[in-house]
Every structure is written in structure tokens, then in C-alpha cells.
Amino acid sequence: MTADLASARRVMIRGAVLTVLGLLGVGLVMVLALAYTPEEINQGLAQKIFYIHAPSAWAAMLSVVLTGLASMLYLWLHDPRIDRFAASSAEVGSIFCGVVLTTGPIWGKPIWGTWWTWDGRLTLTLFLFFLLLGYHTLRAAIREPFERGRFSAVLGIMGMVLVPFIHLSVYLWRGLHPMPIVLKPSAPSLDPQMLRTLLISFGVMTLLYVGFVTLRYGIQLAHDAREAADAS
């Protein structure tokens, strides 16, 4: 059991290092966005939040997709390591989803003139956030590990199914959200300097996702090892 705790400690240290690097990267992105990236001609300074909002949305969707894939694997293999990863990824996805739902209205108020509208993408993202909260509530309510993993896996898969609808919602329903300018079949319709900053931010948010998940996985691994030691 000491070996398990030592392994969990190593995972947490790796996660903490990656998280710190990711947070430093967020600072770099903000410097690039504010000082070295031109202002958008129509939206002005308010558009700068785009470099946090869009990559956070990417990280949130990545989190949910990986949670869903891990959930399907867990239903097949019943491996507690996969369930631990799925739970960690869902938790991180909740954080990024919260960032998206916070930065969106801050950006939208000066541009759209309103903090919130029941736009298709906004509504589906809010629904996904509530689904993730339900995922965590369900896990907290069930003590037996196999049952907890099995039932929460169903919600994890449901969240993954939502992701393509969120991305395609601007095509499916008329709303205030603009069409994609980067993740689309044709070439990105963005100024090269803006695109550079955005792509750097995508990389930074991906690194931050990996750091958060690794750290959370290590914390849960240590918790499970202590529980097993107490039970023996």
C-alpha cells in the first residue's frame, strides 16, 4: 500500500508541474493577446477575451469526449483506473465549462448588448454543465465503486453525445453566436497574428487540461489507496 501512495505522490507531482506550466502559459497568452495581437476592428478590446473563451471551450469539449470514451471502455473492461480517469476528466471539464459560461457573457454584453440569450450553443453548453454537475452528484451519492462507475459512465457517454450538437448548433439553429472561424472545413478566416495567439492558447489550455487531470487522478489514487489500507 505504501507503494501505491508513493505512486500517487509521483503522479500528483507531475500533475502539479504541468498545471503550473499551464497557468504560466495562460499568463503568456494574456500578454500576447493584450500587447502583441491587433484589436478586432468591430469589437475592440472586448474581443481579447476570445483568446481565453474559445480555447476553454475546446478544453471543455476535449474533457467531455475523453470522459465519454473512457466511460465506454469502463463498461467493457471494468478497470477502476479507467473510471478514475473518467471522473478526473469530467471534473476538469466542469471547470472549463464554467470558464466558458463565465467569459461568454462578459464578452457578449458589450457586443450583443445582453449578458445571456437562449442561443442554441449557449443553451446546450449550459445543459452540458448541469449534466456534469449531475455526474459528480451521482458519484458522490453511490458508495459501491463498481455501481458508481457503471451509473456515472452512462452520464459520461450522454455528455459526449452532446459535443457534436454544441459544435454544429450554429448551423442547426439561428442565433447570436457567429459561425466557426477556425474549426471549419475551409481555411481559418482570422488575421495571422490573431490565429497565432489563438493556436498558442489552444496548446496552453490542452496542457492545462493534462495537468489538471493528472493532478486530480493522483489525488484520487491516493484517496483510494488510503481507503483500501483502512479496509484491510
- Residue 152 grid cell: 456515472
Q: Could you list the residue range(s) of the whole structural domain that residue 207 is in?
A: 2-38+47-231
Report pLDDT digits (tens) over 144-198.
Answer: 999 999 999 999 999 999 999 998 888 888 777 777 766 666 667 788 898 999 9
Number of domains the chain contains: 1
The three cell numbers of residue 170 are 450554429
**Residue of 75, 139, 67, 70 whose CA lies nearest to 97:** 67
Residues 50, 69 contacting (CB under 8 angstroms): no
Reported as a single tens digit per residue, the pLDDT across 45-64 is: 878 999 999 999 999 999 99
* Grid coordinates given for 142: 453511490
Our separate counts of H helices and E strands in the chain read: 6, 0
Angle in degrees, CA 58, 59, 60, rounded to 5? 90
